[in-house]
A = this chain, B = another copy of it.
Amino acid sequence: MPRNKAAVSIRDVAAAAGVSVATVSRVLSPASADIVVREETRDRVVRAINELGYRPNDLARALLQQRTSTIGLVLPDISNPYYPPLVRGVEDAASQLGYRVVLCNTDRDPAKTAAYLDTLVKARVDGVIVAGGNLSELPGHPRVFETYRTKLVMVGRHGLAHPSVRVDNTAATEDATAHLIGLGHRGIAFLGGPEGSSTAQDRLLGHRRAMAAAALPTAERVAGFDEHGGYDAARSLLTGTPPTALLCANDRMAFGAYAALADAGLAVPADVSVVGFDDVPMASYVRPTLTTVAVPTYELGRAAMRLLQDALDGSAATEPVLLPTRLVHRASCARLA
């Protein structure tokens, strides 16, 4: 196989500077900061690098050092507005720490997930952050990850053997429901997310707990985690005696519920109070503004990346990290007349 003369390599730099490749490497490598290269030699090398537009090949370096400075980020779907801030958090922390991020959208499809995990292992990523917690259904992979020393961090779900970051969805939803009960509401319906989502399940559980504690019967709907799901679920609740309050498993569903209520001629909060979850930017811009549980999504991402970094540094496995939520009171809730 003939040498590819096009891509400039460390040899070309060495030749241009009249030194050996070892010297070029020493000039570039942070590891050899203590190793002395004569000032004049260093200058020649630096000049050659600039003249040739040389960029070291991280593949070769990674092959040798057994680390790629690359991580995988696995999530259901970046189009779900919940994820972009999280991705941003991961990516910001990653680039700050010198890692690249490979993005993988699984749609919670086991086949896709398996394919992505495979490709990440083949790329020898140093670690993987899994958000949306659909890893447990893949019995084969823990072993492969272990074989290739791939560190794992879970976000949003209690990772059994792995570090994890999440918010306490159950407690937060319990609080939100309690708040509605405190306002005098008794007919409180819960618009829940899909059964496959652990977040949705955790939030449902919190709601049930609060309702049970107040000895109130619960009305629940299962729907998609978006405006459409919220719209349909809300509509289906408006026949007969409508609830006086709606607790939604996320803000998008709440926006859908707003639309359904408006279409039914019901006013928020005069007729029906509404609470959302996540506090996406739009929550402050709908009218009336939406009372919702603020989730520090960006921070979740940052924290996940930091945990991964810790794991890669060889720190002992950390306790699950729990980030705080906050109920943001806005205009969509009223005391029951």
Q: Are A77 and B68 in contact (CB under 8 A)?
A: no
Q: Are B148 and A55 in contact (CB under 8 A)?
A: yes
Q: Are B285 and A258 in contact (CB under 8 A)?
A: yes
Which residues of chain B have C-beta atoms less than 8 A from A60's C-beta? 63
Which residues of chain B have C-beta atoms less than 8 A from A88's C-beta? 77-79, 105
Contacts A88-B105, A148-B55 given; indicate if A282 touches B227 (C-beta within 8 A): yes
User: Chain B's nearest CB lies how many Å from the CB of A122?
Assistant: 4
Of A17-25, A33-41, A113-121, A193-201, which binds chain B?
A113-121
- Kindly state the separation between the CA atoms of A6 and B147 in the bound complex, as whole angstroms: 7
Contacts A102-B100, A285-B256, A285-B259 given; indicate if A58 touches B115 (C-beta within 8 A): no
Q: Would you call A219 an interface residue if the criterion is a C-beta within 8 Å of the partner chain's C-beta atoms?
A: no
Contacts A68-B59, A88-B79 given; indicate if A281 touches B226 (C-beta within 8 A): yes
- Kindly state the separation between the CA atoms of A220 and B22 in the bound complex, as whole angstroms: 60
Contacts A58-B122, A66-B7, A259-B287 given; indicate if A95 touches B115 (C-beta within 8 A): yes
Q: Would you call A187 an interface residue if the criterion is a C-beta within 8 Å of the partner chain's C-beta atoms?
A: no
Complex: chain B residue closest to A105, CB-CB: B91
Which residues of chain B have C-beta atoms less than 8 A from A318's C-beta? none
- Kindly state the separation between the CA atoms of A149 and B103 in the bound complex, as whole angstroms: 23
Contacts A4-B66, A81-B84, A88-B79 given; indicate if A59 touches B123 (C-beta within 8 A): yes
Interface membership of chain A positions 310-323, coded 1 if the CB is closer than 8 angstroms to chain B and 0 otherwise: 00000000000000
Q: Would you call A214 an interface residue if the criterion is a C-beta within 8 Å of the partner chain's C-beta atoms?
A: no
Q: Are B258 and A124 in contact (CB under 8 A)?
A: no
Complex: chain B residue closest to A256, CB-CB: B285
Report how many copies the assembly holds: 2
- Kindly state the separation between the CA atoms of A281 and B255 in the bound complex, as whole angstroms: 11
User: Chain B's nearest CB lies how many Å from the CB of A243?
Assistant: 20
Q: Are B255 and A282 in contact (CB under 8 A)?
A: yes
User: Chain B's nearest CB lies how many Å from the CB of A138?
Assistant: 13
Which residues of chain B have C-beta atoms less than 8 A from A228's C-beta? 281
Q: Would you call A217 an interface residue if the criterion is a C-beta within 8 Å of the partner chain's C-beta atoms?
A: no
Q: Would you call A110 an interface residue if the criterion is a C-beta within 8 Å of the partner chain's C-beta atoms?
A: no
* Cβ contact of A227, chosen from B77, B80, B81, B281, cutoff 8 A: B281
Q: Would you call A56 an interface residue if the criterion is a C-beta within 8 Å of the partner chain's C-beta atoms?
A: yes
- Kindly state the separation between the CA atoms of A286 and B256 in the bound complex, as whole angstroms: 8
29 CB-based A-B contacts, threshold 8 Å? A6-B147, A8-B147, A53-B143, A53-B147, A55-B118, A55-B121, A55-B122, A55-B148, A57-B124, A59-B59, A59-B63, A63-B63, A70-B102, A78-B78, A78-B84, A80-B84, A81-B81, A81-B84, A83-B84, A100-B102, A100-B119, A227-B281, A228-B281, A252-B281, A255-B285, A255-B286, A259-B285, A259-B287, A263-B287
Which residue numbers of A lie inside 8 Å of B, CB to CB?
1, 4, 6-8, 52-53, 55-60, 62-64, 66, 68, 70, 73, 77-81, 83-85, 87-88, 91-92, 95, 100-105, 112, 115-116, 118-119, 121-124, 143-144, 147-149, 226-228, 231, 252, 255-256, 258-259, 262-263, 281-282, 284-287
